[in-house]
Amino acid sequence: MARRAASRAVGALRSDGSIQGRGGRAGGSGAEDARHVFDELLRRGRGASIYGLNRALADVARHSPAAAVSRYNRMARAGAGKVTPTVHTYAILIGCCCRADRLDLGFAALGNVVKKGFRVEAITFTPLLKGLCADKRTSDAMDIVLRRMTELSCMPDVFSCTILLKGLCDENRSQEALELPHMMADGRGGGSAPDVVSYTTVINGFFKEGDSGKAYSTYHEMLDRRISPDVVTYSSIIAALCKGQAMDKAMEVLTSMVKNGVMPNCRTYTSIMHGYCSSGQPKEAIGFLKKVRSDGVEPDGLEPDIATYCTLLQGYATKGALVGMHALLDLMVRNGIHPDHYVYNILICAYAKQGKVDEAMLVFSKMRQQGLNPDAVTYGAVIGILCKSGRVEDAMLYFEQMIDEGLSPGNIVYNSLIHGLCTCNKWERAEELILEMLDRGICLNTIFFNSIIDSHCKEGRVIESEKLFDLMVRIGVKPDIITYSTLIDGYCLAGKMDEAMKLLSGMVSVGLKPNTVTYRTLINGYCKISRMGDALVLFKEMESSGVSPDIITYNIILQGLFQTRRTAAAKELYVRITESGTQIELSTYNIILHGLCKNKLTDDALRMFQNLCLMDLKLEARTFNIMIDALLKVGRNGEAKDLFVAFSSNGLVPNYWTYRLMAENIIGQGLLEELDQLFLSMEDNGCTVDSGMLNFIVRELLQRGEITRAGTYLSMIDEKHFSLEASTASLFIDLLSGGKYQEYHRFLPEKYKSFIESLSC
């Protein structure tokens, strides 16, 4: 805005060299003093040195470009008999025009310099180059640096080249920018060799474009030219590595940086801490901060500021580590840094994300007590969590309070309230709120409605979604293909296929063409209620209308065919998929393997599995589990064990379900020693032994009367502080409260033995 104002004041260049001005005020006593000095020197005329006038003009220009142009005009009107502008005078004038966003006048002033025969210096071009690059006219700036300047016998200096480099990189033209340091090094870019700033600008440009390879090669080229990286270079590399969550490499660069005598700055440390936090390692971020402080190293000699703590707090909040978040908050306060809006917003949003309403509201109250007024983000988080917890009336109170305090609710706040009101069956109030939004001039578009309709459909509130759809049409917002597909999905999830098909017809009638997602949703709906005939009819309609099925659609059809025991049709479809050239994913093979096994075609499944092992396809644990389960069910235990052993040779680790399948089979065969070995191997392979697995083993052992062995695993449940599941406890009581297994009571852990004895009494 200031630049536009200055532009209006500058006016136009006259033929006599003066500039037609339209006035302008500069503020402050410094500006007044500068103007008075200039006016006095100009009054003296030849008695005053042009050096003094130029210096006074530069002082005026610092405060107001318009006022400086006005003073220059007076110099020009005074004529050569009184004062003669020098090249430095014109350089000041050019700078003022460029600051006023009037490059045309700046170039006109440059024309006067050339016309008057002055020798142009590189610094004269600096404001013009900056202005061109700011206006995205980098090609024009390049023409000046590489051609025009040399034509005027002016060699570009390192500043000229750096401005051009930055302009090119800002336009994502870093590869072109890299040519300039090469030209500078070869003497084709003027008399200046590239320096650390030149290379760092290009390196940073490549990183911004996401081309890490070229950034690193440029960095090594810089080292080969014996140009030492500075803190900005290192910080750019570290920031890029942290953004890519390559924290080990980032720490290596930091170590190298310090070793080479370059001290990190705030940006360096903040990048590393942000990198740790964004990769879900807030503890490592805190550890890093503590280490650099204990080593006596402070970025730029400064203590961590509130921005640093905000980064760390956000890391804990994102991970849901609320205890660590509060410990860090306490540390921050102990170090004399008081929470601000950003800190409180992080805390409230963290509690809101975990559904901790009371804690979020307590933080909100503390914020008020500290004299901080909530902003729109704070209110948005509070209103959102209250609506999600069903406290819509409270949310409305905060909404009204927000408006009373002069804050404008955004779409997110309205979205939360409307969703909450619809969920609580307060449809009329929700409609009022939507109309209120229109009155406030808030643009209600399709995206806004789609978001709310999608939320309701996923929660099974398809009736509310339909009402929103009707209101949307009523107020003139046109539903798009996403709206229709979302509502169709809602009806499909509710099993209301007739309603879903009516929507499809309505969608076509308004000129919208169903896409892959629309057809896939409907086909999936039919498959879920085993109406495969209707699903296949729709599938044929999809193909005939020119909509190509994707692999997800094929997967849905395959699964439906196998579930309805139409294995021949499923096999035919698989052949069609392969012939169509569609890229088949592992998920498709898993569906086919599972379908064949469920339909007792284990040999067919095994042949396909063996072919998959020969293909260049990375298998997953689920694929092996499907085959192990099938082989165990048909009594081919040896082959199942071979597959279990083959996990490691395929670079895989058995998961929870693998061990569960093997454990069930081992217990069924009474091979209890093998069970213990399996259990130990599970822990050795890093597969977490959870409550579900232990309860499952105890139930299997109890059902087979293996009370002694069950006691061993009951002890493990206690040691790990797990609880007995209801089904385990019920089976335990039924089996042991009678007298059948009384002699085994002594093998049970003490607390279970006492419990059984109390039941017997």
Q: At what angle are helices 2-10 and 87-99 packed, to 10 degrees?
A: 130
With bands split at pLDDT 50, 70 and 90, how would you rate the model's confidence at 23? very low
Q: Look up tokens 């200039």; give the residue.
A: 38
Q: What pLDDT is attached to residue 28? A: 45
Mean pLDDT for the stretch of residues 196-202? 87
Token pair listed for 23: 């006035």
Q: Percentage of residues in the chain with pLDDT exceeding 90?
A: 19
Residue 602 reports pLDDT greater than 70:
yes
Q: At what angle are helices 707-719 and 750-760 packed, to 10 degrees?
A: 120
- Residue 706 belongs to some domain of the structure: yes
- Residue 502 belongs to some domain of the structure: no
Residue 598 reports pLDDT greater than 90:
yes
| Other beta carbons less than 10 A from residue 332's beta carbon | 20
Check residue 496 and give left, alpha or beta (phi > 0: left; psi -120 to 50: alpha).
Answer: beta
Mean pLDDT for the stretch of residues 235-239? 87
- C-alpha separations of 134 from 5, 8, 28, 169, 171 in Å: 18, 19, 29, 12, 10
- Residue 441 belongs to some domain of the structure: no
Task: Return mean pLDDT, the chain.
Answer: 81
Instruction: Round to whole Å and give the CA distance between 381 and 582.
Output: 45
Which positions ≥6 away from 113 have C-beta within 8 Å? 87, 90, 120, 124
Assign 295 to helix, strand or coil.
coil
Token pair listed for 411: 């779409």
Instruction: Round to whole Å and give the CA distance between 165 and 173.
Output: 9
- Residue 531 belongs to some domain of the structure: no
Per the structure, the complete domain to which residue 728 belongs is given by: 690-760
Side-chain-side CA neighbours of 740 within 13 Å: the count stands at 11
Residue 57 reports pLDDT greater than 80:
no
Cβ contact 20:11 at 8 Å: yes
Q: What pLDDT is attached to residue 737? A: 65
Please tell me which of 192-196, 372-376, 433-437, 564-568 the model is most confident about, judged by mean pLDDT: 564-568
Pairing state between β 19-20 and 12-13: antiparallel
Q: What pLDDT is attached to residue 213? A: 83
Instruction: Round to whole Å and give the CA distance between 538 and 532.
Output: 10
- Residue 97 belongs to some domain of the structure: no
Instruction: Round to whole Å and give the CA distance between 91 and 97.
Output: 10
| Secondary element (H or E) of residue 19 | strand 19-20
Assign 280 to helix, strand or coil.
coil
The 10s digit of each residue's pLDDT in 390-431 is 898 998 998 899 888 888 888 888 888 888 888 787 878 888
Mean pLDDT for the stretch of residues 631-653? 88
Token pair listed for 545: 């209308």
Token pair listed for 170: 């800002």
Surface-to-core class of residue 25, CB atoms within 10 Å of its CB (0-12 exposed, 13-18 middle, 19+ buried) = exposed
Q: Percentage of residues in the chain with pLDDT exceeding 70?
A: 87
- Residue 727 belongs to some domain of the structure: yes
The 10s digit of each residue's pLDDT in 326-355 is 877 887 888 788 888 888 888 888 888 888
With bands split at pLDDT 50, 70 and 90, how would you rate the model's confidence at 736? low
Lowest-pLDDT range of 600-614, 635-649, 734-748: 734-748
Q: What pLDDT is attached to residue 31? A: 61
Mean pLDDT for the stretch of residues 116-126? 81
Instruction: Round to whole Å and give the CA distance between 337 and 358.
Output: 25
Q: What pLDDT is attached to residue 304? A: 62
Token pair listed for 58: 């530069």
The model's pTM is: 0.56
- Residue 698 belongs to some domain of the structure: yes
Q: Look up tokens 């004399």; give the residue.
A: 336
The 10s digit of each residue's pLDDT in 268-315 is 877 888 888 777 777 787 777 777 666 555 555 455 677 777 877 887
Cβ contact 585:548 at 8 Å: no
DSSP conformation letters of 728-740: HHHHHHHHHSSST
The 10s digit of each residue's pLDDT in 682-698 is 877 777 778 888 888 88
Mean pLDDT for the stretch of residues 238-245? 84
With bands split at pLDDT 50, 70 and 90, how would you rate the model's confidence at 531? very high
With bands split at pLDDT 50, 70 and 90, how would you rate the model's confidence at 754? low
With bands split at pLDDT 50, 70 and 90, how would you rate the model's confidence at 556? very high
Distance linking the first and last C-alpha atoms of the chain: 89
Residue 5 reports pLDDT greater than 90:
no
- Residue 745 belongs to some domain of the structure: yes
> In total, how many domains does the chain have?
1
Q: What pLDDT is attached to residue 363? A: 87
